[in-house]
Amino acid sequence: MKIIAPSVLSADFGHLADDLQMINRSEADWLHIDVMDGTFVPNISFGFPLMKPFKQYCSKPLDVHLMIVHPEKYVERFCDAGAWSVGFHLEAVEDPMPILEMIKAKGVRTCLTINPDVDVKRLVPYLDKVDMVLLMSVFAGFGGQKFIPETMDKIRFIKAEIDKRGLKTMIEIDGGVNTANAAELFAAGADALVAGSAVFGAENPEEAIRKMKK
């Protein structure tokens, strides 16, 4: 699968509806939504008030990435606000299972995420319990950072685990993705790529999305 999920974090919020209409016209598959709380990550983005226009103006599934402490307090509200998938960080919680169950009970897809400094092996026990794992290829918190090359081996490792067990779990990669490295990431086993600055900072965003899917 070659899924592209533009990160709305890099959109022009003064012209949000225009940017979302561009996403609708484009070959993008999902809209990636980065929620930051200023505690789990040293940055604050946006929360519930923007879920409304995302839902209203974007026709693509909303892929919510929570970079917050205590995701258990908020996952249900994101589900109710129209999320298609809700992901949170494994290293932000003590036990992800009850939180995954809360998301599942809402009929929403589940995703577990890890930052680059978390051992990828920690995801292994959950591979059959989630719809997707998200490997951060930069440290969560900001758009526009440089891709961390060590991510490639982590993708191959987790892909091999998934295949070995005959699972359908998807692999999403987030951070520093662009038209130059997308093909290599898909080839290594990624199913979905998040791209913020490489889409919204491009001269022709629709063309950039098309290129990444090739």
> Which one of 19, 29, 37, 174 is the catalytic residue?
174
Residue 100 within binding range of ligand DX5, rule CB under 6 A: no
Alpha helices, DSSP H, located in 40-189 = 48-57, 75-80, 97-105, 151-164, 182-188
The Cα–Cα gap between 105 and 103 comes to 5
CB of 35 to Zn ion, least distance (A): 9
Residue 36 pairs with which residues in a beta bridge? 67
CA distance 212 to 143: 18
Nearer to ligand DX5, 88 or 189 (CB): 88
- Based on CB atoms, which residue is closest to ligand DX5, 176 or 205? 176
Instruction: Tell me whether residue 174 is one of the annotated catalytic residues.
Output: yes
Q: Taking contact as CB under 6 A, which single stretch among the options 7-15, 103-111, 155-163, 164-172 is the one that binds ligand DX5?
A: 7-15
Of 160 and 212, CB closest to Zn ion: 212
CB of 23 to Zn ion, least distance (A): 15
Could you tell me the CA-to-CA distances from 90 to 87, 114, 135, 140 in Å, in that order? 9, 6, 11, 13
Q: Which residues are known to be catalytic?
A: 34, 174
